[in-house]
Amino acid sequence: MGTTDGPSPTPTNHPAVEDDYDSTNKSPTLDAGAQFVLKSRGSWIHCGYHLTTSIVAPPLLSLPFAFASLGWTAGILSLLIGALVTFYSYNLLSLVLEHHAHLGRRHLRFRDVAYDILGPRWGMYYVGPIQFLVCYGAVVACILLGGQCLKTVYVLSSSDGDMKLFEFVIIFGGLMLILAQVPSFHSLRHINLVSLVLCLVYSTCATAGSIYIGRSSKGPRKNYSLSNEKETRLFGVFNALAIIATTFGNGIIPEIQATLAPPVKGKMFKGLCVCYSVVAATFFSVAISGYWAFGNQAKGLVLSNFFDELGKPLVPKWFILMTNVFTILQLSAVGVVYLQPTNEVLERAFADPQSKEFSPRNVVPRVISRSISVVIATTIAAMLPFFGDINALIGAFGFMPLDFVLPFVFFNLTFKAFKRNPVFWLNITIAVFFSALGLVATVAAVRQIILDAKSYRLFANV
Whichever domain contains 197, its CATH number is 1.10.4160.10
Predicted confidence at residue 238, as pLDDT, reads 85
Does residue 453 carry a pLDDT above 80?
no
pLDDT for 26 beyond 60: no
DSSP state of 305: G
Dihedral over alpha carbons 176, 179, 184, 189 (to 10 degrees): -110
The predicted structure's pLDDT at residue 387: 65
Q: Residue 460 falls within a domain, yes or no?
A: no
Cis, bond preceding 254 (omega within 30 deg of 0): no
Distance CA 63, CA 372 (A): 33
Q: Give the pLDDT of residue 6.
A: 38
Please state the rounded mean pLDDT for residues 136-162. Answer: 89
E strand or H helix at 106, and its extent?
strand 106-107
Quote the CA–CA distance of 10 and 15 in Å, as a whole number: 9
pLDDT of residue 2: 38
Confidence of residue 222 (pLDDT cuts 50, 70, 90): confident
**Percentage of residues in the chain with pLDDT exceeding 70?**
92
Contact 75, 253 (CB under 8 A): no
Residue 28 has pLDDT above 70, yes or no: no
What does pLDDT average to over the chain? 87
* 4 or 146, which is more confident: 146
In a domain, 330, yes or no: yes
Least confident of 99-103, 150-154, 397-401, 452-456: 452-456
Alpha helices in 216-266 (DSSP H): 230-248, 253-257
Cross-strand bridge partners of residue 17: 106
- Count how many domains the chain has: 1
CA angle 105, 109, 113 (to 5 degrees): 55
For 445, residues 6+ apart whose C-beta sits below 8 A from its C-beta are 239, 242, 389, 392, 393, 395, 396
Contact 398, 128 (CB under 8 A): no
Q: What letter does residue 3 receive in the DSSP assignment? A: -
pLDDT for the residue 16: 39
Count the neighbouring beta carbons within 10 Å of the beta carbon of residue 312: 9
Sequence-distant (6+) residues with CB within 8 A of 413 are: 117, 118
| Domain annotation covers residue 261 | yes
Tell me, yes or no, whether 221 lies in a domain: yes
- The answer, yes or no, to whether residue 56 has pLDDT greater than 80, is yes
- Whether residue 22 is predicted with pLDDT greater than 60 in this model: the reply is no
Task: Kindly report which listed range (163-172, 217-226, 250-259, 352-361) carries the lowest average pLDDT score.
Answer: 217-226
3-state secondary structure of 260: strand
> Is pLDDT at 200 greater than 70 in this prediction?
yes
Angstrom distance (rounded) from CA 173 to CA 178: 9
For 310, counting Cβ atoms within 10 Å of its Cβ (0-12 exposed, 13-18 middle, 19+ buried), the class is exposed
The answer to whether 351 and 368 are in contact (CB under 8 A) is no
> What range defines the domain where residue 84 resides?
16-20+29-455
- Report if residue 5 sits inside a domain: no
Residue of higher predicted confidence among 139 and 26: 139
For residue 1, being part of any structural domain is answered with no
Q: Is residue 393 part of a domain?
A: yes
- 361: how many CB neighbours lie within 10 A of its CB? 14
Cβ proximity of 321 and 153 under 8 Å:
yes
Q: What is the pLDDT of residue 295?
A: 93
- The verdict on residue 6 lying in a domain is no
Q: In this model, does residue 25 exceed pLDDT 90?
A: no
